[in-house]
Amino acid sequence: MHITASRIDRPKQGKYFFIPHWPHPALIPRDIKRGYKFENAAAFGMSSNIANEFKNGLCEKRFSAMNLKWFYKSPKDWHDFSEVDVLIAIRSFNLKTKDYAHKSNQRLYNAWHARVPAILDSGANYQSERKSDLDYIKVNSVEEMLEALKHLKNDKELRHRMIKNGIKRAQETSVERIIKLWTSFFKNKAIPAYEQWSKKAYIFQKLYVKRCWLLIKAEAMILYLRKMIGIYKKPRSRYGYFDQ
């Protein structure tokens, strides 16, 4: 039995259920006193998960030419959106071989909860969450990102609509909502499944655990080999919330 934080991450064995990632603990929303200011663009995440184009200083110069400041938020500040006017979360501008289907959408959830518009890459994980163009702006290149920034900077009404939409979408990943999903999962799925499994003969229990272990190892080896030769499996389908 698997819990996945991505709608489209499908394990090869066992039952699986999608429960969204928690929003960041103690998240500080954008300071309402900033009003319609549009000055600060921030990236959140591990530095290794930020597109290379941000690491050579070129993007920073292009941002500066638009009177925008770009800065990277270190892990200790991931909860703080108080001075952020737009979130930029781009792992790569070239997703032909990578789709990040296994990744959670916590960055997007945080943007909604923080009342900040988001510019994201075209990863399948983000696209699986998208219901309208107001959820986030999708970009596939540096030029598209810069054009999106220019659009947001010049259109405060668009920013307002994206923030308003984000407040609505944030209700789907509220702490109360996710607690209910976890409670329902344990009560209606995990505990009954365990009770059924515990009634089986010991030899069948041991064989089942051994089989699961071997399948997990085999899948991990296949993924490792795919990465080594540059082949990434595309997501096969989409899954909704586990809310039974």
Task: Say yes or no to pLDDT of 121 above 70.
Answer: yes
**For residue 11, what pLDDT is reported?**
67
How large is the average pLDDT for residues 152-179? Answer: 97
Helix (H) or strand (E) holding 126: helix 124-127
Task: Say yes or no to pLDDT of 109 above 70.
Answer: yes
* C-alpha distances out from residue 178 to 18, 24, 171, 183, Å: 11, 13, 10, 8
How large is the average pLDDT for residues 120-149? Answer: 93
Q: Name the residue among 166, 38, 151 with its Cα closest to residue 111.
A: 166
**For residue 61, what pLDDT is reported?**
86
Q: Which residues of 126-150 are buried (b: 16+ CB within 10 A; e: fewer)?
A: bbbbeeeebbbbbbeebeebbebbe
Beta strands in the chain (DSSP E): 2-4, 16-18, 40-44, 69-73, 86-89, 118-120, 137-138
**For residue 153, what pLDDT is reported?**
96
Position 97 confidence tier, pLDDT thresholds 50, 70, 90: low
| Dihedral angle over CA of 214, 219, 225, 227, nearest 10 | -150
CA 100 to chain centroid, in Å, comes to 9
Helix (H) or strand (E) holding 227: helix 202-229
Position 99 confidence tier, pLDDT thresholds 50, 70, 90: low
How large is the average pLDDT for residues 221-226? Answer: 80
Lowest mean pLDDT among 123-137, 208-222, 224-238: 224-238
How many CA atoms within 13 Å lie on the side-chain side of 26? 5
**For residue 177, what pLDDT is reported?**
96
* C-alpha distances out from residue 208 to 74, 172, 221, 228, Å: 42, 35, 20, 30
How large is the average pLDDT for residues 98-121? Answer: 90
Domains of the chain (ranges; CATH) run: 2-21+175-229 (no CATH), 32-172 (3.40.50.2000)
Lowest mean pLDDT among 65-69, 109-113, 179-183: 65-69
Task: Say yes or no to pLDDT of 241 above 70.
Answer: no
Task: Say yes or no to pLDDT of 239 above 70.
Answer: no
Position 53 confidence tier, pLDDT thresholds 50, 70, 90: confident
